[in-house]
Structures are given as C-alpha cells and as structure tokens.
C-alpha cells in the first residue's frame, strides 16, 4: 500500500541528506551569516556541538515574515529561478538547511534588520513553532541549536566522540576564515577560545590560525590568464605533510576538495615533492561563475568545471613559477618509466646463436611457463600468489620448539644487494627482506609492551615543538591521556604549538621535526582508534608509527650487515608467533621449497 508521508517525516528524511553531524549545522549557519554580509561571526559550542551550537553575526538580519519563511523547505533569498543555478555567487542557495535543522533539533532564532525597531524571536522544536515574539534586539542574527537529533535517536547514536565532532567543526571554520579574511571569526568551545581570527588579509589569517612559523614559510602565488586567476600562498617541499589536509583550496571563496586542482598542485611541485607527501597550500581561484557547477551534491562539497584542462594548466604553472622564483629548481615528474627493462636475450652477443631447448621441454612445457624466453618468464612474473611461498602457520611453532638448534636448521648462504638474506633451511631456500624483518621484530616488541602496559619510554633531551592548526590542537588536547598509554607525552604550548616530550624508547633517543609532524598527522587520522579500547595488534596507527620510525631505527635495504647479524635477525624473526609478514602485510620472507625449485627448472616430471 502506498501512502503520502507527512511533512515532519519528509523533513527528517531531507535533513539526513543535508545535516549529517554538528559540523553540518555550523557550516550551513555560518555560510548564511556570510551571505548576509556579516563582518563579525562568533560560534559558541558545548560538547562538540551535540548540546549547543550558537552562531551570532552582525549581518543584514531578517524581518518577521522572512524569519518565519526561512524555516520552511525550499525558501531562499539566493536564487529566484532555475537559470540562477548556473551563476551562483552565494554559498547557500538550496533553501533546505534551516528547515532541515529545525526538524531535528530545538532551535531559537533571534534576528533584526537595521531599519526595524523590533526584532523577531522564534522558538521551534521538531519543526513545530512554540514561540513567536517581537522583541528588542541588536542588529543581525543569532541562532541557537540545542540537542541535535534529539528526536532521531538512531542518528544521534551514530555521532562520533566530542573530539572527533569538534575536529570537523574547527576544520571547516578554519577554511571559512581563510576564504573570507575580511570577516572576523571566533570559535568558543566549552568556554574555551579555539579560534580567534580578526579580519585582515590572507597572510594575517594564516598567522592567526596556524602560527608565525607557517606564515613565515609562505611563498606568494599570483597568476592570471584571461578571466582565470590563481592567488594565495604555498610552502616549500620541506614543509610538506604526511596527510593532505593542509591543502586549502577555494574557488570563488568556496572551500572545495577537487582532484583536478589537487593533481595540478602536486604536478606543479614536480619531483621536488616525494610522491607520498603533500604541501601546505592556501589558494583561491577565480573563474567565471557560469563555468562552475556547485549544484552536484546537497552538501555542496563537490563541484564541476566546464574547462578542467585550462584550470589544471593554470594552477600547475602558477605553483611551478612561484617555487622557481623562490630559488627552487622544478623538474617534471615522469609518469611513465623512461627506460624499459632489459630483456635477457639482449645480454647475449649478437653473433652467438641461441641454444635450442631440449625437445622434451619444448614439446611439453610446464603450463605456467612461456615457450620462448623461458628464464625471463620466471623472473618477470609470478603465477602463484605469495601464499604459495609462505610456510604453513604451524611450521612457525616447529621453529620455536627448536630454538637451541636453529643454527642447524638455518644456514646463511649470503646477502643479495645488501637487502635480501639467503639461507638454506630443511624446507628449501629462504629469502628474507632484512628491512621488513627488522621492522616486524620492532613492531612485535612494541605491541608486546603495550599489551603488558610496560612501555619503555624515552624522555627527549630537547622536546620537539610542532606548529599545528586549531583542529589538530583540539585532537591532541583530547588525546593526551590516551597517548601516554602508548609512550607519548605531549604538552600544549601556546596557541599554535605542541611539545613532544617523551616517545617510546623503541623509537630512539630523538626525533626530527619532520617525523614529529608525521606523528601528529597519524594521531589526528586515528582519533577513534586511540580513544577506544582496541587490541594493539588491530591498531592501524601503531603500524603507521612503526613504519615511519622503522625507516630510521630498523636495518634498511642497502645497509651492510654481518652474517652473524643476519643469523640473529632470522632467529628473532622466527621466534614470533606470526613471522611471515611485516605490520602492513608485506612478506618478510619466502621459502622456495624443493618442489617449486624443481618446477622452475622443469624437473617436475617423472624420469
């Protein structure tokens, strides 16, 4: 049976598309304040926005009738007809945000225009107007949203921790403060100031929000081509980050995330930036309003451009030229290998005829091998999955039972390219990646210490100071106690800095500034894992931490080690419960058993 849904249910469904979390409410309300011409915007929060979100501005305000209309669906002052969608100048335009908010929260609206003697006070709960008064107010608008999703408990249950929700809010308000530097922004959470960004220019906002260290590192970018302009600041590669959340990109002052522009920025850095790093960027792009489509998704996070290739080229060139003006030589990143691999038959002298293969091999080859270039086929491809080369799990136990006779079971034959240890075992030929093996050993030690709650901690001789942004400060402040359980002691230092005082001793006695930045990124990306009680071996952030310090503390590919060290490495590896893969699943060793070796040489036949 088909029924017609009531208005409240329709609004709740619509709210699910627009209002996902407290940050969605802040986004919609603050964008309305900006569209209203405000020069001062204050956001007050309690409990990460779950209990209270209050947005106060000095914008144009609304009269009584408009205030009542604003809480209805599909009512807006931003557009009047469908054609306006192709030339949008405002941040908001759908006319759904406020209607969605009042349907899932307890909302009070205070608003007044400059020319009106009295303002309007409306109280709405679950879409129902409980109070409608005219009162004396200051010019502008204040909207207080309490108990978000109070009438949709399923949605409220899925909200994240206070730290996580606050991180989303702080980050979006940071973006708006950068996009609109002529507006003064402030954010207060639980009576504590989080963001204070007085109006000024972009570089002054960067200084207020990110601190003087990042502001001093900024390189200006300015390039114009016809009606296209790219303007802002970037930083040199040495200030790069592990994560991409320092890429602040705006199109017509609208914060966006767009792969085309991101790829253009990275291409502009060329080979100066490692492939796994991202720069710090603050860029505002101006293009004709009719060449961008922001009506792609209800949250307006996605945009489309009608001339992507032109935009890509301009952004790439703008970044490259700015870096070169700063004294950096930029080389284009090669996407395809410049040289092809040398074929095995190319090593043979041209005047020597290749030997014929025995007729038995030629007429009935192993199904996994090619009929020509037999040896190269084996080297170039592997038809079997890596599991084929790993000993069954129970065999690890057999190694552990014979700890005292391991040297009899394993005989080191040599080391290839100072990277791969070759050893003979009862099962066949063992190949061990010395870096992956040492990383797995260190990882297992660290996990064992966490399990036993006896982490060996090393106090840094000189604490490392890292400049961070407000959203990161919120995260670290909320995780300080949890991080001590993993051997990290951190301290908030001033408005834009954090001090790392202690680290797990397995990481060494000191860390670099670059490594400290990466640690902050890892902590920030794994808020929920760190906050919740999760088995250490299931924590991705532990694996990430071990990976970044393994590059400094573990034996690396290319390091020369003695045979005795190789023996010790393999012995310690085989003592582990699961020694065959590194923390991220890459093999630490493979065993080429006799059967597989015979298959390679096509001796797997009865003779």
* pLDDT, position 9: 62
Task: At 251, give phi and psi (nearest 5°).
Answer: -120, 120
More confident residue, 356 or 28: 28
pLDDT of 26 > 50? The answer is yes
Query: CA 511, 512, 517, 521: dihedral to nearest 10 degrees?
Result: -40
DSSP-derived letter for residue 273 is S
Spatial CB neighbours of 278, under 8 Å, sequence gap ≥ 6: 240, 241, 242, 243, 244, 246, 247, 266
**What is the value of pTM for the model shown?**
0.74
Please tell me the chain's helix, strand, coil percentages from 3-state DSSP, rounded to the nearest 5.
40, 25, 35
CB 466 within 8 A of CB 498: yes
pLDDT band at 584 (very low <50, low <70, confident <90, very high): confident
pLDDT of 407 > 50? The answer is no
Smallest CA-to-CA distance from 168 within 49, 334, 314 is with 49
- Establish if 348 belongs to a structural domain: no
Q: What pLDDT digit, counting tens, does each position of 365-401 carry?
A: 333 433 333 333 333 334 444 455 544 544 444 444 4
Question: Residues 244-261: what's their mean pLDDT?
Answer: 92
Q: What pLDDT digit, counting tens, does each position of 316-346 carry?
A: 999 999 999 999 888 776 554 444 444 434 4
More confident residue, 478 or 607: 478
Pair 594, 530 in one domain: yes
More confident residue, 27 or 544: 27
Pair 246, 186 in one domain: no
Q: In angstroms, rounded to a whole number, what is the distance separating the alpha carbons of residues 168 and 356?
A: 68
End-to-end CA distance of the chain: 75
Domain of 120: which CATH number?
Answer: 3.30.565.10
pLDDT of 38 > 90? The answer is yes
Domain of 462: which CATH number?
Answer: 3.30.1540.20
Pair 450, 577 in one domain: yes
Per mean pLDDT, which range of 5-9, 37-41, 284-288, 390-394 is the poorest? 390-394
Q: In angstroms, rounded to a whole number, what is the distance separating the alpha carbons of residues 205 and 247?
A: 15
Q: In angstroms, rounded to a whole number, what is the distance separating the alpha carbons of residues 437 and 434?
A: 5
* pLDDT, position 56: 98
Show which of 273, 303, 325 is a domain's final residue.
325
Q: In angstroms, rounded to a whole number, what is the distance separating the alpha carbons of residues 141 and 35?
A: 12
Q: What pLDDT digit, counting tens, does each position of 202-227 carry?
A: 999 999 999 888 999 999 999 999 99
Pair 49, 186 in one domain: yes
Cross-strand bridge partners of residue 109: 122, 143
- Establish if 345 belongs to a structural domain: no
* pLDDT, position 312: 95
- Establish if 382 belongs to a structural domain: no
Pair 55, 145 in one domain: yes
- Establish if 222 belongs to a structural domain: yes
Signed CA dihedral, 447, 452, 453, 459: sign only? negative
Per mean pLDDT, which range of 178-182, 494-498, 563-567, 594-598 is the poorest? 594-598
Pair 305, 439 in one domain: no
Domain of 267: which CATH number?
Answer: 3.30.230.10
The most confident of the ranges 76-80, 231-235, 236-240, 337-341 is 231-235
Per mean pLDDT, which range of 73-82, 480-489, 566-575, 594-603 is the poorest? 73-82
* pLDDT, position 298: 57
Pair 298, 439 in one domain: no
Signed CA dihedral, 245, 248, 254, 256: sign only? negative
More confident residue, 558 or 231: 231
Q: Which domain holds residue 395?
A: 390-607
Pair 183, 223 in one domain: no
Smallest CA-to-CA distance from 439 within 538, 515, 550, 590 is with 550
- Establish if 347 belongs to a structural domain: no
- Establish if 357 belongs to a structural domain: no
The proportion of the chain whose per-residue pLDDT surpasses 90, expressed as a percent, equals 42
pLDDT of 555 > 50? The answer is yes
Pair 233, 188 in one domain: no
pLDDT of 196 > 70? The answer is yes
Pair 224, 174 in one domain: no
More confident residue, 390 or 581: 581
Show which of 278, 307, 325 is a domain's final residue.
325
Pair 244, 189 in one domain: no
Q: In angstroms, rounded to a whole number, what is the distance separating the alpha carbons of residues 517 and 527?
A: 16
Smallest CA-to-CA distance from 105 within 168, 199, 11, 17 is with 11
Show which of 199, 233, 258 is a domain's final residue.
199
Across the chain, mean pLDDT equals 81
Smallest CA-to-CA distance from 221 within 289, 316, 291 is with 316
- Establish if 411 belongs to a structural domain: yes
- Establish if 369 belongs to a structural domain: no
Q: What pLDDT digit, counting tens, does each position of 272-319 carry?
A: 998 889 999 999 999 998 888 776 655 566 778 889 999 999 999 999
Q: Quote the number of domains for the chain.
A: 3
Pair 192, 142 in one domain: yes
* pLDDT, position 316: 96
* pLDDT, position 532: 78
């Amino acid at each position: 049976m088909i029924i017609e849904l009531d208005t409240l249910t329709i609004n709740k469904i619509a709210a699910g598309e627009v209002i996902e979390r407290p940050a969605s409410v802040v986004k919609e309300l603050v964008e309305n304040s900006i569209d209203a011409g405000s020069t001062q915007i204050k956001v007050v929060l309690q409990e990460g926005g779950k209990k209270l979100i209050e947005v106060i501005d000095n914008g144009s305000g609304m009269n009584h009738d408009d205030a009542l209309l604003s809480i209805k669906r599909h009512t807006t002052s931003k557009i009047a007809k469908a054609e306006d969608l192709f030339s949008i100048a405002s941040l908001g335009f759908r006319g759904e945000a406020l209607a969605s908010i009042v349907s899932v929260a307890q909302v009070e609206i205070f608003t007044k225009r400059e020319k009106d003697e009295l303002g309007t006070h409306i109280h709405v709960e679950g879409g129902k107007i409980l109070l409608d008064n005219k009162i004396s107010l200051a010019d502008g608008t204040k909207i207080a949203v309490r108990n978000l999703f109070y009438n949709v408990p399923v949605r409220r249950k899925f909200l994240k921790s206070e730290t996580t929700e606050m991180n989303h809010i702080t980050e979006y308000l940071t973006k708006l403060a950068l996009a609109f530097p002529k507006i003064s922004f402030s954010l207060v959470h639980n009576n504590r100031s989080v963001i204070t960004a007085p109006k000024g220019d972009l570089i002054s906002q960067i200084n207020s929000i990110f601190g003087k260290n990042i502001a001093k590192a900024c390189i200006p970018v300015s390039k114009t081509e016809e009606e296209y302009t790219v303007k802002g600041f970037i930083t040199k590669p040495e200030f790069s980050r592990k994560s991409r959340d320092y890429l602040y990109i705006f199109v017509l002052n609208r914060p966006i995330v767009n792969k085309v522009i991101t790829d253009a920025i990275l291409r502009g850095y060329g080979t100066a930036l490692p492939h796994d790093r991202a720069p710090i960027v603050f860029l505002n792009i101006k293009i004709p309003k009719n060449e961008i489509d922001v009506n792609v998704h209800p949250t307006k996070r996605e945009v489309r451009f009608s001339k992507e290739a032109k935009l890509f080229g301009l952004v790439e060139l703008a970044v490259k030229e700015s870096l070169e003006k700063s004294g950096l030589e930029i080389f284009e990143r090669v996407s395809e290998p410049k040289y092809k691999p040398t074929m095995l038959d190319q090593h043979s002298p041209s005047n020597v005829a290749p030997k014929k293969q025995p007729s038995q091999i030629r007429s009935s080859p192993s199904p996994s091998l090619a009929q020509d270039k037999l040896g190269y086929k084996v080297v170039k491809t592997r038809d079997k999955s890596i599991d084929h080369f790993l000993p069954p799990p129970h065999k690890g136990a057999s190694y552990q039972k014979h700890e005292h006779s391991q040297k009899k079971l394993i005989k080191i034959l040599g080391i290839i390219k100072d990277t791969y240890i070759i050893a003979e075992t009862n099962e066949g030929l063992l190949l061990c990646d010395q870096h992956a093996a040492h990383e797995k050993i260190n990882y297992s030690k660290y996990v064992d210490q966490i399990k036993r709650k006896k982490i060996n901690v090393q106090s840094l001789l000189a604490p490392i100071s890292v400049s961070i942004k407000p959203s990161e400060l919120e995260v670290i402040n909320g995780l300080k106690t949890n991080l001590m359980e993993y051997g990290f002691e951190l301290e908030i230092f001033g408005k834009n800095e954090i001090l790392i005082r202690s680290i797990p001793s397995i990481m060494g006695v000191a860390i670099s500034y670059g490594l400290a930045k990466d640690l902050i990124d890892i902590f920030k990306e794994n808020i929920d894992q760190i906050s919740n009680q999760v088995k250490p071996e299931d924590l991705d952030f532990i694996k990430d931490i071990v990976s970044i310090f393994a590059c400094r503390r573990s034996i690396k590919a290319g390091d020369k080690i003695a045979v005795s060290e190789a023996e010790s490495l393999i012995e310690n590896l085989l003592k582990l419960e699961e020694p065959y893969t590194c923390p991220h699943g890459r093999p630490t060793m493979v065993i080429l058993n006799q059967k597989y070796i015979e298959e390679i040489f096509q001796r797997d036949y009865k003779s």
